[in-house]
């Protein structure tokens, strides 16, 4: 209910703009090379390793880390936990931008991006898990756009259209949670078809469940992580309610994350037991698996517990950061590191610097858009004309 701070006039050549500018220029260069020289000109992909960093990081990690949208919406709109309301708009914005970035990255990775609609309008392959992923991501992006649009409409002063969209909130939220459950788990299901290529410690018939549960932890942690960054960078854009709620969000989400990570650890253990893979834990890959599970699942879980019990938001923030790293590690393991584990070292894949460069470019686009939006639209504060919102 307080007045939003006036948008600070930032100089054109501030450090963020310069760095972002360089990254964007490099990205444009890579774009040119990609569409004149093919994937081979900018990636280290080959016939043995057809999916690389862009799929492993931009798609798999991107979707998992954008999960804050549906988890926060579930908490606030479905479970009615009003105290997290301040976290909802930032989470939805991140979700919307995150999925948009995933689509942009896909435009580079697939051979003929203009044909991406083909499976859904022309020639469906319904037995493909990728069909389901594509359909859900497409629909969910639309849902996120509609959930984000009231923020833009408030900025533009469009009352009537905004009211129509706000009435759709519950429907969009439920649809969004359903779609998210499906595509988060389906990203894991993509790898069900390759038991012969994915290391047994990561391959499981439970892959879809693992991906879904870990996406919840990822979403909760990203909300905490981003609120930490946002409070440092954009606190002048935040109203009192938002600032006051910050710690409540961190504590509440931290508690939830503790549970989810504990459950995740347990079911991953069940997965090892199901296939009787205990002996594999003593191998090199086994140690790597244990590092992922103990260092990046069990440890953050423990830290979340400590932070919640001691009412210490700082510990919780570190736990969230570790969880995010753990999710990234898990997705990269399944897609790149534990995948094709049986190939000889000469045939293994490592990303080309331009693959990483392009991913940084895409993330930068997202961060730039985020910055533009939060400094102008009512994300961290309530627009004075629309405070009948809750």
Partner 1 sequence: MSISRRRFLKSLTAAGVAMAAPRPAGAHGEFAGHPESYGVLQDITLCIGCRLCEKACNQVNHLPAPEKPFDDLSVLEKHRRTDAKTYTVVNRYDIPSYHRSPVFNKFQCNHCQEPACLSSCFVAAYTKTPEGAVVYDASVCVGCRYCLVACPFGVPTYEYREPLEPTVRKCTMCYPRLLEGELPGCVEACPQQTMLFGKREDLIAVARERIRKHPSRYVDHIYGEHEMGGTSWLYISGVPFEELGFRTDLGTTPAPKLTSGALAAVPIIIGVWPALLGGIYVMTRTKEKAAVRDKDSAVRRAIEETQAAADQARKQAAEKAKVEREKAVELAVKKALEKAAKESAEEGS
Partner 2 sequence: MSEGFHSLQEFMTHTKGILYLLSLGYLVAFVLFWKYLHDRENDDD
Residue 31 or 181: the one with the smaller Cβ distance to partner 2 is 181
Min dist. Cβ of residue 240 to partner 2 (A): 32
Which phi and psi (to 5°) does residue 377 adopt? -105, 155
Residues, the chain: 390
Min dist. Cβ of residue 44 to partner 1 (A): 10
Can you tell me whether residue 283 is helix, strand or coil?
coil
Can you tell me whether residue 5 is helix, strand or coil?
coil
* Residue 384 partner contact from partner 2, partner 1, none using kind-dependent CB cut-offs of 5 to 8 Å: none
Under rule CB under 8 A, residue 110 binds partner 1:
yes
Angle at alpha carbon of residue 370, lines to 366 and 372, rounded to 5°:
120
CA–CA gap between residue 75 and residue 90 (Å, rounded): 14
Under rule CB under 8 A, residue 126 binds partner 2:
yes
Residue 175 or 285: the one with the smaller Cβ distance to partner 2 is 175
Residue 135 or 322: the one with the smaller Cβ distance to partner 2 is 135
Angle at alpha carbon of residue 116, lines to 177 and 118, rounded to 5°:
105
| Segment interacting with partner 2 (CB under 8 A) among 18-26, 34-42, 124-132, 244-252 | 124-132
* Residue 11 partner contact from partner 2, partner 1, none using kind-dependent CB cut-offs of 5 to 8 Å: none
Q: For residue 331, count CB atoms less than 10 angstroms from its CB and return exposed for 0-12, middle for 13-18, buried for 19 or more.
A: buried
Residue 104 or 174: the one with the smaller Cβ distance to partner 2 is 174
CA–CA gap between residue 313 and residue 215 (Å, rounded): 22
User: What separation in angstroms does the CA of 300 have from each of 67, 136, 247?
Assistant: 18, 30, 18
Residues 30/42, Cβ–Cβ less than 8 Å: yes
| Segment interacting with partner 1 (CB under 8 A) among 78-86, 147-155, 215-223, 319-327 | 78-86
Under rule CB under 8 A, residue 390 binds partner 1:
no
Under rule CB under 8 A, residue 259 binds partner 1:
no
DSSP 333-376: IIIIISBTTTS-GGG-----HHHHHHHHHHHHHHHHHHHHHHTT
Under rule CB under 8 A, residue 196 binds partner 1:
yes
Under rule CB under 8 A, residue 46 binds partner 1:
yes
Question: According to CB under 8 A, which one of 6, 36, 123, 127 is a site residue for partner 2?
Answer: 127
- Please report, as residue ranges, which positions from 173 to 192 form the binding site for partner 2 (by CB under 8 A): 175
Using CB under 8 A as the criterion, which residues of the chain lie in contact with partner 2 when the complex forms?
124-127, 135, 171, 175
Using CB under 8 A as the criterion, which residues of the chain lie in contact with partner 1 when the complex forms?
34-41, 43, 45-48, 50-51, 74, 77-80, 109-113, 115-116, 118-119, 122-125, 127-132, 134, 170, 173-175, 177-178, 181-182, 185-186, 189-190, 192-197, 205, 207-208
């Amino acid at each position: 209910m307080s007045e939003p701070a006036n948008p600070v006039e930032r100089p054109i050549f501030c450090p963020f703009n310069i760095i972002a500018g360089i990254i964007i220029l490099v990205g444009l260069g890579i774009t040119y090379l990609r569409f004149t020289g093919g994937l081979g000109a900018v990636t280290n992909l080959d016939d043995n390793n057809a999916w690389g960093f862009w799929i492993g990081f931009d798609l798999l990690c991107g979707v998992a880390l954008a999960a804050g949208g549906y988890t926060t919406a579930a908490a606030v709109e479905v479970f009615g936990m009003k105290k997290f309301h301040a976290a909802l708009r930032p989470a939805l914005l991140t979700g919307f931008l995150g999925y948009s970035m995933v689509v942009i990255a896909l435009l580079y990775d697939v051979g003929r991006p203009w044909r991406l609609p083909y499976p859904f309008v022309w020639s469906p392959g319904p037995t493909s898990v990728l069909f389901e992923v594509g359909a859900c991501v497409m629909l969910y992006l639309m849902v996120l756009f509609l959930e984000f649009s009231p923020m833009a409409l408030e900025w533009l002063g469009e009352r009537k259209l905004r009211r129509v969209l706000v009435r759709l909130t519950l429907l969009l939220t439920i649809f969004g949670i359903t779609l998210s459950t499906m595509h988060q788990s389906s990203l894991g299901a993509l790898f069900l078809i390759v038991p012969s290529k994915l290391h047994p410690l990561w391959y499981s018939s439970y892959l879809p469940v693992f991906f879904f549960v870990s996406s919840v932890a990822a979403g909760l942690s990203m909300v905490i992580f981003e609120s930490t960054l946002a409070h440092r960078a954009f606190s002048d854009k935040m109203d009192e309610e938002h600032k006051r709620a910050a710690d409540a969000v961190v504590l509440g989400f931290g508690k939830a994350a503790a549970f989810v990570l504990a459950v995740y650890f347990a079911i991953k253990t069940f997965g090892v037991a199901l296939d009787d893979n205990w002996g594999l834990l003593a191998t090199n890959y086994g140690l790597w698996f244990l590092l992922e599970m103990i260092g990046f699942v069990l440890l953050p879980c423990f830290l979340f517990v400590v932070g919640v019990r001691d009412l210490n938001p700082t510990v919780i923030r570190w736990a969230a950061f570790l969880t995010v790293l753990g999710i990234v590690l898990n997705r990269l393991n399944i897609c790149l590191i534990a995948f094709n584990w049986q190939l000889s070292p000469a045939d293994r894949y490592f990303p080309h610097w331009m693959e990483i460069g392009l991913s940084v470019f895409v993330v930068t686009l997202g961060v730039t858009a985020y910055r533009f939006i939060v400094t102008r639209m009512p994300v961290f504060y309530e627009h004075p004309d629309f405070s009948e919102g809750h």
